[in-house]
Chain A
Amino acid sequence: MTKKECIAMLLAGGQGSRLKMLTKNQAKPAVPFGGQYRIIDFSLSNCAHSGIDTVGVLTQYKPQTLNSHIGFGDNWDLAGLNSCVTILSPYAGEAGGNWYKGTAHAVYENLSFIDAYESQYVLIISGDHVYQMDYGLLLKYHKEKQAEATIAVVEVPWQEASRFGIMNLGKEGVIEEFEEKPAFPKSNLASMGVYIFNKNILADYLHADVKDKTSVNDFGKNIIPKMLRDGRRLFAYPFKGYWRDVGTVESYWLASMDILDEKDGINIFDSEWGVYSFHTPQPPQYVGAAAKITGSLIAEGVYINGEVEHSIVFPGVQIHQKAIIKDSIILPNVRINSDVTVNKAIIGENTWIGEGSVIGDRGASKSIIPKVTLVEDNQQLEPNSSWNLIEAAGV
């Protein structure tokens, strides 16, 4: 193997159960997002643009969609002479096999993969975050500070700070304290779940961590606090830009609308930092004579002859005459027949909605926390169905 200065380990094994039906058939990083992408495309594209050309993708929960989406990484320019994407799933050894018990344990199980590249630094990233970030700058910062580990942080609104892992900093970005979901946060700098470690130190801590029976084998809960207790050189790298953890149905909906509204600089139209993906071939979109589309993102292979306002429509969707779609996300290959109303809803893949149906609440409430109606994948909704938040299963 070619020697690498820094390789990335991308955590993509989580179930993301708070995304409910969206992760019923696939891991969270594989959930469709932004009109034609899957969430993991953002991290993989960041790697491609940042010059990180060797990526291990750690998978565990329902990985089939994810595996076939990534393929051998050529769509992210990660397949070549000196670059690759390797899917790393749990495996069996002489002493039997192990499921990944936590993020740190997943990396521990694959230390031999990291060793093969003799890399000096290891970048740990997540496959379920939406952001456009240059990891090259993070690595440069890490080297300049002669840090042993660097954690990327982003400012979050103070009122939301107690939902995150919060970093309290000393001089020049030194991390003095890390608090997981503090009730009374002392700062609003949240950990993004993006870390760079010196490889040898990481290996030492991972070895120690698996021996610790009380540990849940998690980077945020165990490894970072332990390193802080030991007085290691930990620095925070301030990231300026859009970053979201798409953890719940509501945050999924909000982040989707942010993409639509280009909030805080997230820009899928950026020609320098475009989001790469894998798509199946689709014809151009056809916009019919009766269509009315405003403020929306529409993918290829879509047929629209209805009204679409402030919504995201994925490939292969059909929206027929007099259907009205508002503030909604329509996932791939959904068919919405005529006279259907969809309001503030997420419609799962391949679902068929009979004419005259009403999805979501007719009168949109203007509460701060959005109430989003979710319709599962592969459903057949009879004509004139009514489906709103209360009736939606699992909500």
Chain B
Amino acid sequence: MMLDVMGIIHHIKYENCLQSLTECRSMGAVPFGAKYRLIDFVLSNMVNADIKNVGIITALNLRSLLDHLGNGREWGLDKKRDGMFILPAASHSLRRKSIVDLEDFYVNIDYLKRSKQKYVLIAGSNVIYKLDYNKVLFFHEENNSDITLIYKKDQSWNVGQEPQVFLKIDDNQRIVGINTKCKVKKTDNVSLDTYLIKKELLLEILAECYLQKKWDLVKHVLAKKLKELKICGYHHQGFSTVINSLNSYYNYQMELLLPEKGKDLFISHGAIYTKFNDSPPTKYYPGSEVNSSLVANGCVIAGKVNNSVISRNVKVEREASVHKCVIMPDCVIGKGAYLEGVVLDKNVNIPAGTVLKGSQHVPLVLGKGWESWEERAVEVHE
């Protein structure tokens, strides 16, 4: 059944929290989980729920995201009626600290008005979960809610990484408090940056924001209107996170290496779609040792890999050892190199014999195309 919902993937204003990973690309285009980009998860959830009209708000650093999305074909969004729409953000500035910047919506108000769907589902491009939005809509209507937020209960070890939105929720699932600064308790309700709202209400809110020139959906609208509007929280129980720091980027991928977590994200409730790629199957040479790892296509592995996420077309040469690493596409790990707790961005070529170590929760990150000429051993301590 066609859902009466359109999707908007909003532009993340704190992209630079991923440091060098978002220097050359926008948040949604950051590689994740061996063969995906961050935006694939929320976009796949939308199309799996039969949402057929998706607007994606974008700012600078577009090339890699646009290349990835193409005309939306892999998500079934290359349509005559509805489909995928690339929407420009209001400004390219990342200085604004909005969590959801409604000015980006306001400049695209014509698109919103022209769309025929009754509801708008708003989500960030960096939310990782598998969620059936049909259930959220059912919950929304059941509770006669004006706005529904999706949250998880979490004991965040990445406390202090901004922006986290904590929710105080009463027994009737109504949100009675929104806090963006509080010190996290052992378990807390953490927003998953996903909002369901009637389009008419969103348009009213946009008109109001325009008059007040205050644009943050969370701080200026939701937090101020807890009494005026019925804002409810939908509890999501599966594997989920918002990628808002290098720590969360790294540690959530390490968590995916537990088979049941990986299955929850990759296999349950529909496929995750991503750009089509013609890489051949991965080749394991005699003598390779690979364990507890996620591996994409097109790799050639002759060395040792364990507890790692290996993206497409990566070469691990003989006697090389990769341990607790996230390796992005087209990297080469030279003969006899040793990598532990390292994140390699695309196209990094690790010379033979190099030793690189990050610490347990703080990975060592080497940027796109990084090259080392002289340092044969780099060791980073916490």
Which residues of A pack against B, CB within 8 Å?
34-36, 75, 268-269, 274-277, 279-281, 283-300, 303, 308, 312-313
Contacts and interface: CB of A to CB of B under 8 A. Distances in A.
25 contacts: A35-B281, A268-B281, A269-B280, A274-B280, A277-B278, A281-B274, A284-B33, A284-B35, A284-B294, A284-B295, A284-B296, A285-B296, A286-B262, A286-B293, A286-B294, A287-B290, A287-B292, A287-B295, A288-B291, A294-B286, A294-B287, A297-B283, A299-B281, A300-B35, A303-B259
A269 B259 contact: no
A300 B298 CA distance: 10
Contact of A297 (B262, B282, B289, B296): B282
A276 B289 CA distance: 29
Given A287-B293, A293-B290, A298-B281, 16 more contacts: A36-B297, A75-B276, A269-B300, A276-B278, A279-B276, A280-B271, A283-B262, A284-B33, A286-B295, A287-B292, A288-B259, A293-B288, A294-B284, A295-B284, A297-B280, A298-B284
Nearest to B285: A295
A268 B287 CA distance: 21
Contact of A300 (B278, B287, B293, B297): B297
Contacts, number: 97
The 8 A-B residue pairs with the shortest CB-CB distance, nearest first, are A283-B266, A35-B281, A284-B34, A268-B280, A299-B281, A295-B286, A297-B281, A293-B284
Contacts of A277: 278
Contacts of B262: 283, 286
A299 B300 CA distance: 12
Contact of B273 (A281, A289, A312, A313): A281
Given A269-B300, A294-B288, A295-B285, A285 B280 contact: no
Contacts of A276: 278
A275 B280 CA distance: 8
Nearest to A278: B276
B272 A300 contact: no
Nearest to B271: A281
B267 interface: yes
Chain B contact-residue range equals 20 to 34
Contacts of A300: 35, 281, 296-297
Contacts of B272: 281, 283
A341 B92 CA distance: 59
A217 B293 CA distance: 54
Contacts of B259: 286, 288, 303
A274 B312 CA distance: 15
A312 B283 CA distance: 9
Most buried by A among B34, B284, B291, B300: B284
Most buried by A among B35, B289, B290: B290
A37 to B, nearest CB: 9
A313 B295 CA distance: 14
Contacts of A269: 280, 283, 298, 300
A274 B276 CA distance: 14
A295 B290 CA distance: 12
Contacts of A286: 259, 262, 293-295
Given A284-B294, A286-B294, A294-B287, A36 B280 contact: yes
A193 to B, nearest CB: 25
A280 B291 CA distance: 25
Given A275-B278, A281-B272, A294 B285 contact: yes
Contacts of B290: 287, 291, 293
Given A294-B288, A300-B35, A285 B282 contact: yes
Most buried by A among B278, B281, B295: B281
Contact of B267 (A283, A287, A290, A297): A283
A272 to B, nearest CB: 12
B268 to A, nearest CB: 11
Contacts of A289: 291-292
Contacts of B289: 292
Nearest to B265: A283
A147 B276 CA distance: 41
